[in-house]
Structure 1
Amino acid sequence: MAQSTSAPVTAFLRHNYRHFNAAALIDAADAYVSHLDKGGKMMVTLAGAMSTAELGISLAEMIRQDKVHAITCTGANLEEDIYNLVAHDHYARVPNYRDLTPEDEQKLLDQHFNRVTDTCIPEAEAIRRIEKAVLEEWQAADQAGERYFPHEFMYRILRSGKLKEFYQIDPKDSWMVAAAEKNIPIIVPGWEDSTNGNIFAGHCMEGDIKNVHTVRSGIEYMMYLAELYTEMTKTSTIGFFQIGGGIAGDFPICVVPMLHQDLGRTEVPLWGYFCQISDSTTSYGSYSGAVPNEKITWGKLAIDTPKFIIESDASIVAPLVFAIVLGQ
């Protein structure tokens, strides 16, 4: 393939990344591009703390350029992109995090920092600032007898403009801002297991919110995804680009066997592409570390589905894959 001087990152990768996981990265990125070129759509799933790793710098552009058409993420990734948006300058980095003692960790807590590896999220400027904004939306919906998904509440606070005065990064580097502008569907399974999920539970217990069902549930998310997948695949297949493991990947990939086996919608195609970036291994029944072929037995992937695993650090690998897809 000819090298393009206008795409220096891609040229560097193609010249240097020739073997092992490096070669898998190139193959997966090329297949991603091929899938889109054939009219396919792509779902990206976000596990871990990719928003705190500032994946939004590259993912937002993927969304703007229609390289991503749906996202499944943990509740942490949903909120932490917005935390970074409004409190970036107040974050603290701890490059020597491996050397911290329990006493060092307590000092961080006393300073109201919540540590994620080498990055500390400031409670007041990030968590409580978002709590105030989203609580207003929860209560307004509660009083009106309306119900919305977790991502819809986040879309509402972003679109309202009430947070703009607090922006501390360029909003073009926020994947949630890009997603709200494009109105792409987001699936957030297990949202209860997040800071805002815990906060919502607390406000329900205190009586600030009367109806616990004001925020729609994970079962409703699966029903929503089933109808979304059925509709989107009427004109194209959908690929599955999985960053990390856990519920962010496990939940959405199951929609296909559910549609086939539980709803009898056998005309719905399987996932049309699969790639996972993971450092998990196949042991003790690990699903996150399972090779893609295992998914054939569960009715998720076909024999001829393009399948890739890049066994590496997603915070390094994902932006490089996105650079190739974006032609950078």
Structure 2
Amino acid sequence: MSPSTPMLGPVGSYVKHHFRHFNAAALVDAAEGYRVYLEQGGKMMVTLAGAMSTAELGLSFAEMIRQDKVHLIVCTGANLEEDIFNLVAHDFYERVPHYRDLTPQDEADLLGRHMNRVTDTCIPEMEAMRRMEKAMLDVWTRADQAGERYFPHEFFQQVLKSGVLKPSYQVDPKHSWMLAALEKNVPIVVPGWEDSTLGNMYAAAVIRGEVKNVHTVRTGIEYMTWLAKHYQEVTKTSTLGMFQIGGGIAGDFPICVVPMLHQDLELTEVPLWGYFCQISDSTTSYGSYSGAVPNEKITWGKLGVDTPKFIVESDATIVAPLIFAYLLGW
């Protein structure tokens, strides 16, 4: 079946007309490849690294989820929590456009005001992190006392479902990708969740004795075993593609499920990833996984010779919203 003509809105039309060469052309190729892949029945996993939630990617990503253009999300613990931080404390955030000029004393002054800086954006500790800590501590201790165990994202979803944070919402809920994923029942995987603000708070709760069983929050290995089963189930009827935003564990962890199934479990009938795109400002270099060209993944049994492969070497906070706008007809 030949692909249909894309239905483009003003942003997509502009991109299609003006982005003709180099990284600009790669952006259009990746977007069109994503569109055609879904049209032909493929399912898509999106991975979030960096600080995409603090960059408010939810403005477009949430709509991608609601329009069934995302079928699995893998993200860092930071992206998981920072979508909710933004949801409940947006009005208390501070932007520092001159962040390149800050002195060490300027940074210390921000610390003194409990403002945690992410590039040009300061997250307010008391209004965001501590508010979330209280809500999470309630669900952690409740599960712990009941002898129940859940994945990190499931605890977040329990808090969202409870409605306890609703009075604190400071942005339109439709701009929260976490709420969109909950609404659409899109599964989430969070490798390395321990490396996050809430992960640190959980460790502190264990040390204080408020959580008795450290395993109340399920682990990364359990995420991988869940992902292996999910991948096999999804690929019975379609292939699964991978749209990787940034580098790091959010992308490295899930892509390895295929060679694990093939090489360690000898389930060689499981298909390879059906589409691959990475947006990264990591330049091609020796020994850098984020900087490795997609073809290197062929040698690791992750991608095939004929897998559609794209890499856009640019800032994901610029590229991802443009690709999403293209796909959403904006």
TM range (shorter): over 0.9
Establish whether residue 49 from structure 1 lines up as the match of residue 51 from structure 2: yes
Deviation string, structure 1 residues 208-231 (Cα, Å, up to 9, x no partner): 000000000001010011011111
Q: Counterparts of 2:272 and 2:62 in 1: how far apart (Å)?
A: 27
Q: Determine the structure 2 residue equivalent to 1:273.
A: 275
How far residue 280 of structure 1 moved from its aligned partner, in angstroms, is 0.6
Q: Counterparts of 2:256 and 2:236 in 1: how far apart (Å)?
A: 19
Which stretches in structure 2 are left out of the alignment for 5+ residues? none
CA contact (8 A) 1:3 1:11 kept: no
Describe how 1:25-36 pairs up with structure 2 within 5 A.
25-36=27-38
Deviation string, structure 1 residues 253-279 (Cα, Å, up to 9, x no partner): 000000011111111100000000001
Q: Determine the structure 2 residue equivalent to 1:95.
A: 97
Q: Determine the structure 1 residue equivalent to 2:252.
A: 250
Q: Counterparts of 2:131 and 2:6 in 1: how far apart (Å)?
A: 47
Q: Determine the structure 2 residue equivalent to 1:301.
A: 303
Q: What is the one-letter code of the residue matched to 2:24? A: A
Q: Counterparts of 2:79 and 2:259 in 1: how far apart (Å)?
A: 26
Q: What is the one-letter code of the residue matched to 2:141? A: Q
Relative to 1, partners in 2 of residues 1:148 and 1:16: Cα closer, same or farther, differing over 3 Å? same
Secondary structure, aligned partner of 1:114? strand
Q: Determine the structure 2 residue equivalent to 1:162.
A: 164
CA contact (8 A) 1:158 1:177 kept: yes
Establish whether residue 70 from structure 1 lines up as the match of residue 72 from structure 2: yes
Q: What is the one-letter code of the residue matched to 2:25? A: A
Q: Counterparts of 2:329 and 2:236 in 1: how far apart (Å)?
A: 28
Identity across aligned pairs (percent)? 74
RMSD: 1.1
Q: What is the one-letter code of the residue matched to 2:189? A: I
How far residue 326 of structure 1 moved from its aligned partner, in angstroms, is 1.1
Deviation string, structure 1 residues 9-35 (Cα, Å, up to 9, x no partner): 111111110110110011100010011
Q: What is the one-letter code of the residue matched to 1:30? A: E
Q: What is the one-letter code of the residue matched to 2:27? A: L
Q: What is the one-letter code of the residue matched to 1:162? A: V
How far residue 283 of structure 1 moved from its aligned partner, in angstroms, is 2.2
Q: Counterparts of 1:108 and 1:165 in 2: how far apart (Å)?
A: 27
How far residue 282 of structure 1 moved from its aligned partner, in angstroms, is 2.7
Q: Indicate the larger mover: 43-52 or 175-184.
A: 175-184
Q: Determine the structure 1 residue equivalent to 2:196.
A: 194
Which stretches in structure 1 are left out of the alignment for 5+ residues? none
Q: Determine the structure 2 residue equivalent to 1:292.
A: 294
State how many pairs are aligned: 327
Q: Indicate the larger mover: 180-189 or 64-73.
A: 180-189
Q: Determine the structure 2 residue equivalent to 1:185.
A: 187
